[in-house]
Amino acid sequence: MNIKEVSGNLVAKGLKIGIIVSRFNDFLSKQLLSGALDCFVRHGGSDKDITVVWVPGANETPLAAHKMAKTGKMDALVVIGAVIQGATPHADLINSQVSRSVAKVAMDNNIPVINGVVCASNLEQAIERCGTKAGNKGWHAVEAAIEMANLYKEMAI
Ligand code: INI
**For residue range 61-115, what is the model confidence (pLDDT) as tens digits?**
999 999 999 999 999 999 999 999 999 999 999 999 999 999 999 999 999 999 9
What's at 71, amino acid-wise?
A: T
Answer yes or no: is the C-beta of 90 below 6 A from any ligand 1 atom: yes
Q: Which residues contact 156 (CB under 8 A, 6 or more apart)?
A: none
Q: pLDDT category, 1, cuts 50, 70, 90?
A: confident
Of 54, 74, 58, 59, the residue nearest 145 (C-alpha): 74
Distances (CA, A) of 90 to 28, 49, 130: 19, 35, 21
pLDDT number for residue 157: 61
Q: For the whole model, what pTM was predicted?
A: 0.96
Sorted by where each starts, the structural domains of the chain and their CATH numbers stand as: 17-149 (3.40.50.960)
The answer to whether 118 and 81 are in contact (CB under 8 A) is yes
Q: Which residues contact 31 (CB under 8 A, 6 or more apart)?
A: 130, 131, 136, 138
Residue 43 Cα to ligand 1 midpoint, Å, equals: 31
DSSP 68-119: HHHHS--SEEEEEEEEE--SSTHHHHHHHHHHHHHHHHHHHHTS-EEEEEEE
Of 78, 73, 77, 13, the residue nearest 41 (C-alpha): 13
The answer to whether 83 and 95 are in contact (CB under 8 A) is yes
Query: Ligand 1, closest atom to CA 25?
Result: 4
pLDDT number for residue 91: 95
**For residue range 110-148, what is the model confidence (pLDDT) as tens digits?**
999 999 999 999 999 999 999 999 999 999 999 999 999
Mean pLDDT for 7-33 is 98
Is residue 140 among the annotated active site residues? no
Q: How many CB atoms lie within 10 A of CB 155?
A: 11
- Residue to substitute in 20, 22, 30, 80 for testing ligand 1 pocket (most ligand atoms within 8 angstroms of CB): 22
Distances (CA, A) of 106 to 31, 35, 149: 25, 22, 12
Q: pLDDT category, 38, cuts 50, 70, 90?
A: very high
pLDDT number for residue 118: 98
